[in-house]
Amino acid sequence: MLDRLPGRFTIGDIAKAADAGRKSSGYIRQVAVRWAKQKKTKRVGRGKYQKVEQGKSRAAAASQRNK
């Protein structure tokens, strides 16, 4: 499901990707928190998340952001 989301996304985007008609809002938030704990995403605001680039060191990712 994470593959179907843009680089920055909201809880609402996760709900749409997960076919929210069948999933509770609590489940959707739980998925977002799980991804953050697994370092697949990071929280950038209330209900807003960003994918973390896998395979790059934090220093390399930071230098890319600063360019």
Q: What is the pLDDT of residues 13-47, one digit of tens each?
A: 998 888 766 888 899 999 999 999 999 999 999 99
Domains contained in the chain, number: 1
Comparing 30 with 65, which gets the higher pLDDT? 30
Residue numbers of the domain that contains 21: 2-66
Give the pLDDT of residue 25: 85
Tell whether pTM > 0.85.
no
**Average pLDDT for residues 60-65, to the nearest whole number?**
59
Query: Which residue pairs, CB below 8 angstroms and at least 24 apart, start in 8-17?
Result: 8/44, 8/48, 8/49, 8/50, 8/51, 9/48, 9/49, 9/50, 9/51, 10/47, 10/48, 10/49, 11/47, 12/47
